[in-house]
Amino acid sequence: MEIFIDTAIVSEIKEAQSWGVVDGCTTNPKLIAMANVDFEQTMKDILQEVHGPVSIEVTTNDFEPMVKEAEHYNKWGSNVVIKIPMSIDGLKAVKVLTEKGIKTNVTAVMSMKQAVLAAKAGATYVSLFWGRIEDMGYDAEQITRDTVAIYNTHGIKSKIILGSFRQNSQVMRALRTGAHVLTLTFPLIKEMAWNPRTETTINEFLQFWEEYKKTHVVNPIPDDADDDPRLKELMKLLAEYKRRDAR
């Protein structure tokens, strides 16, 4: 299971990467517009920041312009993956780009049959949109399970990405499906790390430790430990829990 971050905000990527949980990044024109950033420079910054695959989406639905855009974006880095819309022209573009050795991610896939066609065309990744599938009244979990089963049965090498999540209850269901990748917004990834029972448990342990120190001598940590990044990260987490407890 891989986790990609779904964002065009570099600061979110840097923070999530510092937790050691991000394997790649997905973007789209809407995310770029919402972030109100320079498209080319931001994508190049993300490609430098993320060591795994970074999906950059074309901004047209027409075959020849798709291929032209894809070839241009592909020059920006070795970890570029071109997002192509699920359509007849999109399938044509995927076939051509695959033959050229350019990695693709077929996006806005809403059904198992579309996922099969995308894989047949040669897509590196196939993105099922969980939330939008359920908006139509369909069972996204079952569609994903069926797609995973067909891919496994026939030895299809395309990787399934699940995206378009609105809440972590959807993420928990998605984790059980066997999909290769979940692409999540920064707030959803951050929320995954938090549980109220975890918070109260850690605070309980710290309270006992404070009581313990009143009756026992505890040797201070040597100064050279200040340079240990693991300790710094632990202190950041403890400070965050204390701030939450204060609220």
Catalytic member of 14, 68, 75, 83? 83
- Asked if 145 and 177 count as a contact pair (C-beta separation under 8 A), the reply is yes
> Residue 48 CA to chain centroid, in angstroms?
16
C-alpha span between 226 and 222 (Å, rounded): 8
Q: What does the block give as tokens for 162? A: 């699940």
Q: HSE on the CB side for 40, CA within 13 Å? A: 6
Max distance between CA atoms of the chain, in angstroms, equals 76
Cα-flanking dihedrals φ and ψ of residue 135, to 5°?
-60, -30
Residue holding tokens 């779904």? 6
- Verify whether residue 83 is a known catalytic residue: yes
| Residue whose C-alpha is closest to residue 76's, from 108, 39, 107, 29 | 39
C-alpha span between 84 and 71 (Å, rounded): 12
Strands 80-85 vs 54-57: parallel, antiparallel or unpaired: parallel
Strands 181-184 vs 24-26: parallel, antiparallel or unpaired: unpaired
β-bridge mates for residue 129, sequence order: 163
- Asked if 95 and 106 count as a contact pair (C-beta separation under 8 A), the reply is no
Strands 54-57 vs 125-129: parallel, antiparallel or unpaired: unpaired
| Residues catalogued as catalytic | 83
